[in-house]
Structure 1
C-alpha cells in the first residue's frame, strides 16, 4: 500500500474513522498518541506501549536536536531504531518549546535564534534547517515550524504569528524532501475564528501552489495554539468550525490535548488525532484516570482498598495491582508507582479512543458521546 494514503472508513455526524498508511504501518483514528519527548515515553517501555495499543508515538525536535543531537539519532538508524519502537512516529517541530521560552528567542524574517535549555548555547533555526533536522531524526510524520501564541494575546500579535506560520509552512513544504516521511501543516490563530480560517485558507493555497509546481502536498494538518491557558469551553467556540474547514481527505490533529472529556468532545467536532503529556505527568503525581473520575492515590481512603485500580479497565496495572499497593508506592515515592500509573493512564486514553472509533464505525457516535457526558468520569475532567 502507498505510504501516507488516507482512507475514511466511516463517519457518524462530524466524527470520523480514518485509516492512514505510513512507512512503519497503518494507524487508525480517532487516536491518542503517547508523548515520548526525548525518545522515551517516561516510565513506559516500548513493549508496554505495544501492549496497551499505542499506534503512534510522538517525539520532540527541540529536545532531540539538542540532546543527543539529530546526527547521532540518524547514525543510530533513525528514531525508530534508536528507541526500539517499530510503529509509526511523529516529531513535533519544537516551535512550541522555542516560543514558550520567549525571553530567550530572537525572531527575524529568515528564522529564529534561541538559547539551549541544556547549556545556554545559541541555536539558529530556519524552516529549512528545521526540516533538515526532522528528516535526520526520521519519524514518519514531521510538523512544520510554526509560531504558537499564548493566551491571552493581542489580536495584532496573533495575526502576525498566523502570517509568519504560513510563510514558514510554504518554506517547510518546499524544503521537505524525504520520501518516507510526510509533513503536516499547522493552523494557528489563537481564539480568533477569522484568523483561524485565514490560516486554513493560506495552508490550502500554499498546497495548491506546491502541487501546481510539481511539488508535494501536506500529509495532514495540525491544529495548534489551543490548550494554552484558555478554558475548554472557549476552545470549543471555534474548534469545530476550524476542524471542518480543513480538507476532508487527511487527518486533523489537535495538538497538546489529553483531557478525556475534551477528546470525546473534539472527536464529535471532526478531530482525529491527539497527544499530550497529561496521562504520564499526572501519573508521576500519583493521579489515575478511571471510569468514575480522577483518583488521587495519596488519599487515605485507598490505604486498605484491595480492589483493582479501575475494575472497568483491563490494563496490566488494573489486572495485577490493588489500590492499596499503588497508594503505598506513591506515598513512598517509588518509581514503580509512576510507571504502573503511566501504563494505566495511557491505556485509559488509548482505549477511550478505540471505543470512540467503534462507535463511529457503528454509526452511533452521538450515543457514545451522550453516554460519556452522562458518566461519572465526564464530570471530573
Structure 2
C-alpha cells in the first residue's frame, strides 16, 4: 500500500488489485448476489470504487455458483472494479457451522476471480472466555498458513475478542497476510461499545504491518468512521445502506431518521428535488428500496469525502473532537483514545491550528510533548521562574524587564499558556503560537500543574521585577534557538554557538535563518521548528549518537540522495525508531556517512514497513555542500 497524506494514524493511500486501484479511506458496499438492484454506473456515480460480496452465499446457491464459475464474480454481480469476497465466517457466527472448510472456500474464491480473498477465520465474540478467544486466534492463524500464497491477495482477519494481548498477538501473526481486516466487532458496533472498539483498533493497527490495508469488518455506520480512520482504519464495508432502506430509515452522517418523520431530503441527496418523502412512502417497495439505498450510500460517501479532506488539511483530530460530542458513547470512546500514547505516530506539527476546548485537550499529543519537555527542562536544579498571564503578552515581543531578568540570570523561565507553564523559549513553537483557545480558565488544573512543577524542582517562584542584575550572561535569541533544537531533536547539547548570526524578518521580527560564517545552518519554519541545511545536517551528524535522527540507506540510493533526490521506502535499510513524522532527519549509510537532510514522511515505527512511496523528502544533498 502506498501512502500520500497522513495525520496521526490516518492516511490517504492507494492499494492495488487486479481490477484496479483503491484509494483509501473508502467503503465497500456489501452486494447481496440475490438482491443486486444498483447498477455499476449508479454505484460509481456516488464514489464506489470497490464492493464486497459473500462467496459462501454464492457457493451454496447452485445457480449462482454455476454462473460465478463460468463467468466470474465480476460478471455475476455486474461490477468491473475490485471485488472482495467474504468467506462465510459471519454466517457461521450467526447460524452455526457451515458446510465448507477453509481450503474449499478459499479455492472457490480464487476460481471465481475474487480480487481480495478472505480466509474462513474463527469469529470471536465479546463474551468469549480468554481461552476461547486465544484458541480462535491460533486456529485462524493456522488457517491463514494453510492457504496463504503470493499469487493472491489474502485477507487474514485479526481476532481476539476484547482481550488486548490477544489482539496484539493476532495482529502480529496475521501480518503475514496481504490484507488485514479487524474481525469480531459487529456485536460491539451494534451495542455502541465504541470505547472497546477504540482499544481493539489501536492494538490491531500499531502491532500489524503498516504497509497493509486495515479493514474494519462490519463498520458501516458513518457515525464512527472518523474515529476509526484517525486510529488507522483504511477500508470499511457497509450493508447498513440497504438494511436501513428496508426499514424506511434515512441515513445521515450523524445518525438515521424515519422516512415518515422528515419534511424533505437534504440538498446533497440524489433524491433532492426529484422525490418528496411522502411520494417515496407511496412508491412501490422495490422503487423505495432502491432510491433510499442510493440516498444512504451517498450519506456514507459524503462522510468519507469529508474525512479525506480533513486528513489533507490536518484537521481530522479536530473533527473527531467535534464528533465526540454527538453521542455519549462517542465521548467515552474519545476519552479512551486520549488514554493511549499515540504520540510516536503524530506529526511534529500540523498545518492547522490546534483548538483548545476543555481540560481533555491537555491530553492531546502536542501538549503531552510540551509537558514532557517541560519536566526535563526544570529538572536541571536551577531556580525556575513562573511568568503569569498578566506579565506575559503572548504574540508580543518579550518585555524589556523580563528580557533583562532572563539575560542576567541562568534561571529557567516558564510562561503561562492555557493554564500550564512551558519554557519561554518555545513561545513560537507549535502548538504554542498556533493554538486557538476557548478562553475558559482551568484554575484547578493550573494549581495542580504548579504543584507538580514544585514536586520536580522546589526552587520555583513567580516573576517579580526585582529579578536580574546588570551583567548580561546569555542571549535570549541564541538560547531560544538551542532550546527549540533540544525540543525538536531530543538532545541535551547545544547546536548553535553565541557567535552564530541570527537573521530575522524585518516585517515580523521572527527568526528566519541561523548562519555560521557565510553558511546557513538552519531556517526557522512558520511552525517554530528548524529546517536543517546540509551544513546543519553535517554538524548534527557529528553530535548525535548513531542512529538517532537518521534514516539509513545503501550506497546506490545514497549516491542518488546525495544529489538532492528523495529517499524511497524500498531503499531504507534501517532507521531510528523514534523519528517523528514531519521532523528533519539525516540520510546516512550504516557507518554514519552523511548523504542528505530532509524531513521524514512517516514515523520511525512505520518507516520499515512501507515499500512504496517517499520516505524522506530531501532538502539538500551532501554534494550541494
Cα offset for 1:289?
1.2
Aligned partner of 1:214 in structure 2 is none
Cα offset for 1:228?
2.0
- C-alpha RMSD of the superposition: 2.3
| Secondary structure, aligned partner of 1:298 | helix
Aligned partner of 2:47 in structure 1 is 53
Deviates more, 1:163-172 or 1:229-238: 229-238
Alignment size in residue pairs: 326
Aligned partner of 1:354 in structure 2 is 305
- 8 Å Cα contact 1:291/1:310 also seen in 2: no
CA distance in 2, matches of 1:162, 1:293: 33
Larger Rg: 2
Gaps of 5+ in 1: 1-5, 106-113, 115-122, 208-217
Deviations 1:303-335 (A, max 9, x none): xx3x3x123x2x422352222322333xxx632
Q: Summarize the Cα distance change of 1:319–1:221 in structure 2 as closer, same or farther, 3 Å threshold.
A: farther
Q: Summarize the Cα distance change of 1:189–1:292 in structure 2 as closer, same or farther, 3 Å threshold.
A: closer
- 8 Å Cα contact 1:24/1:140 also seen in 2: yes
Cα offset for 1:368?
3.0
| Secondary structure, aligned partner of 1:275 | strand
Cα offset for 1:92?
0.8
Q: Match for 1:223 among 173, 179, 182? A: 182
Aligned partner of 1:120 in structure 2 is none
Aligned partner of 2:252 in structure 1 is 290
Deviations 1:201-246 (A, max 9, x none): 2224xx3xxxxxxxxxx32211101122452222223322222221
| Secondary structure, aligned partner of 1:245 | coil
Structure-to-structure mapping, 1:270-309, within 5 angstroms: 270-290=232-252, 293-299=255-261, 302=262, 305=263, 307=264, 309=265
Deviations 1:144-197 (A, max 9, x none): 220102231222111111111011011120xx46x4x41121110001111111
CA distance in 2, matches of 1:292, 1:222: 25
Cα offset for 1:290?
2.2
- 8 Å Cα contact 1:134/1:142 also seen in 2: yes
Aligned partner of 1:183 in structure 2 is 154
- 8 Å Cα contact 2:118/2:155 also seen in 1: yes
| Secondary structure, aligned partner of 1:90 | strand
- 8 Å Cα contact 1:7/1:20 also seen in 2: yes
Are residues 1:367 and 2:318 paired? yes
Structure-to-structure mapping, 1:134-173, within 5 angstroms: 134-173=109-148
CA distance in 1, matches of 2:199, 2:15: 28
Aligned partner of 1:256 in structure 2 is 218
- 8 Å Cα contact 2:158/2:171 also seen in 1: yes
- 8 Å Cα contact 1:279/1:342 also seen in 2: yes
Are residues 1:129 and 2:100 paired? no
Aligned partner of 1:11 in structure 2 is 6
Q: Match for 1:22 among 8, 17, 41? A: 17
Cα offset for 1:85?
0.8
CA distance in 2, matches of 1:273, 1:319: 32
- 8 Å Cα contact 2:223/2:253 also seen in 1: no
Q: Match for 2:30 among 32, 35, 51? A: 35
Q: Summarize the Cα distance change of 1:375–1:232 in structure 2 as closer, same or farther, 3 Å threshold.
A: closer
Are residues 1:97 and 2:91 paired? yes
Are residues 1:321 and 2:296 paired? no
| Secondary structure, aligned partner of 2:42 | helix
Q: Summarize the Cα distance change of 1:338–1:17 in structure 2 as closer, same or farther, 3 Å threshold.
A: same
Cα offset for 1:285?
0.4
- 8 Å Cα contact 1:285/1:338 also seen in 2: no
- 8 Å Cα contact 2:154/2:179 also seen in 1: yes
- 8 Å Cα contact 1:169/1:203 also seen in 2: yes
| Secondary structure, aligned partner of 2:260 | coil
Cα offset for 1:199?
0.9
- 8 Å Cα contact 1:39/1:83 also seen in 2: no
Aligned partner of 1:335 in structure 2 is 286
